[in-house]
């Protein structure tokens, strides 16, 4: 019998999650049945989208139920197996949740090649954030060489990859991030053409300075005032890709929408939402191209790894909402 600590949803938060949101329980896992694997979790992914899963509303995935183990993607090692496709010692990714150990029937579980990149990268640039950046830019945003591209939360897991993909595809790329250090990283390490520090004030004025002719594509991870600034500085035929709206996720009532949305008419522009899971059958294609960019140095990965145990999940998650992380935030246990 394997005992495991797990983080469960205790109550739905009304704003930022607190200690009361979560409860840590210890559970004994049952014996392995036929066609199952027992995994030991090494890395837990922390994602802005998790905040949405806590709300009892209809969305692209059902909400996490009260008392359920919090949903999370993990990198894990197979330590027992009765499943024909997985052997003891395999490193895998799967939605095992915020837990130390888990049993799975193998559905949605992928073997992971650590010779290509370490575990945390498989939660970041080669994982769902990388897929999100790839399909958001290339499919939804119809990126073209020569475009001027704006990316918000550009030092985050998705944004840092999105900006580098856009560069690799021949675009001029401007990133928005919080603080001088993140902005420095974007331009000096990740090859962005310019960076805007939203904490330094007036994003629209800064944007007009670095992109006086407007932008062709805005990859939006944040919503709020930054979305309005982008709307005010579009080029004709611009595309806005809605990937997220982290500025709103902890608001207790929906904040006002983008008041400048009628810029879409003036600029003959579009705003399109997407959910990366719709592209699941094309993840291999994206993975191959991302791995190639990684190999030839055009894609650099950034992970922010917090070491600890599952009980630190709640505090670590909130780092996303204060902007404390740079790159993909991972809890290593």
**Which positions touch its own copies (CB under 8 A)?**
58-60, 223, 228, 242-245, 248, 254-275, 278
CB of 286 to its own copies, least distance (A): 18
d(CA 216, CA 290): 23
What length does the chain have?
Answer: 333
CB of 261 to its own copies, least distance (A): 5
Q: Which DSSP state fits 170?
A: T
> Which 3 state secondary structure label does DSSP give 13?
coil
d(CA 308, CA 316): 10
256/284 with CB nearer its own copies: 256
43/267 with CB nearer its own copies: 267
Structure tokens at 180: 């001088």
CB of 94 to its own copies, least distance (A): 24
Asked if 32 and 83 touch (Cβ cutoff 8 Å), the reply is no
98/240 with CB nearer its own copies: 240
CB of 235 to its own copies, least distance (A): 13
Structure tokens at 135: 């399909």
CB of 265 to its own copies, least distance (A): 3
CB of 69 to its own copies, least distance (A): 24
d(CA 95, CA 93): 7
> Which 3 state secondary structure label does DSSP give 18?
coil
Q: What is the largest CA-CA distance in the chain?
A: 64
Q: How many CB atoms lie within 10 A of CB 298?
A: 15
25/272 with CB nearer its own copies: 272
52/314 with CB nearer its own copies: 52
CB of 234 to its own copies, least distance (A): 10
CB of 87 to its own copies, least distance (A): 38
31/60 with CB nearer its own copies: 60
Asked if 333 and 198 touch (Cβ cutoff 8 Å), the reply is no
Q: What is the DSSP string of 139-163?
A: IIS---TT-EEEESSTTBHHHHHHH
36/225 with CB nearer its own copies: 225
104/132 with CB nearer its own copies: 132
d(CA 321, CA 43): 20
123/276 with CB nearer its own copies: 276
Which residues, listed in sequence order, are joined to residue 196 by a DSSP beta bridge? 176
CB of 305 to its own copies, least distance (A): 28
With CA atoms as reference, report the closest residue to 327 among 119, 125, 156.
156
In order of 76, 80, 208, 264, the CA distances from 31 in angstroms are: 18, 10, 61, 57
């Amino acid at each position: 019998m394997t005992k495991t600590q797990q983080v469960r949803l205790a109550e739905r938060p009304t704003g930022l999650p607190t200690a009361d949101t979560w409860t840590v329980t210890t559970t004994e896992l049952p014996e392995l049945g036929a066609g199952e694997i027992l995994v030991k979790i090494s890395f837990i992914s922390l994602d802005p989208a998790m905040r949405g899963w806590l709300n009892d509303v209809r969305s692209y995935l059902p909400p996490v139920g009260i008392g359920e183990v919090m949903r999370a993607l993990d990198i894990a090692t197979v330590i027992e197996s009765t499943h024909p496709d997985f052997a003891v010692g395999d490193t895998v990714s799967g939605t095992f949740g915020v837990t130390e150990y888990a049993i799975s029937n193998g559905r949605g579980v992928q073997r992971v090649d650590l010779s290509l990149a370490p575990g945390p990268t498989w939660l970041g640039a080669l994982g769902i954030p990388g897929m999100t950046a790839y399909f958001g830019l290339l499919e939804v945003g119809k990126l073209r060489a020569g475009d001027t591209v704006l990316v918000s939360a550009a030092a985050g897991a998705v944004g840092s990859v999105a900006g580098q993909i856009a560069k690799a595809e021949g675009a001029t790329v401007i990133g928005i991030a919080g603080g001088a250090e993140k902005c420095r990283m974007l331009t000096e390490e990740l090859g962005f053409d310019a960076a805007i520090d939203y904490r330094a004030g007036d994003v629209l004025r800064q944007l007009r300075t670095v992109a006086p002719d407007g932008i062709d594509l805005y990859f939006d991870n944040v919503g709020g005032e930054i979305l309005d600034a982008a709307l005010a500085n579009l080029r004709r035929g611009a595309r806005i890709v809605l990937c997220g709206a982290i500025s709103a996720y902890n608001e207790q009532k929906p904040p006002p929408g983008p008041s400048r949305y009628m810029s879409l008419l003036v600029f003959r522009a579009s705003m399109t939402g997407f959910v990366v899971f719709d592209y699941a059958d094309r993840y291999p294609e994206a993975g191959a191209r991302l791995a190639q960019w990684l190999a030839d140095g055009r894609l650099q990965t950034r992970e922010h790894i917090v070491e600890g145990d599952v009980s630190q999940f709640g505090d670590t998650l909130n780092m996303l909402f204060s902007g404390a992380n740079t790159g993909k935030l991972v809890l290593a246990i």
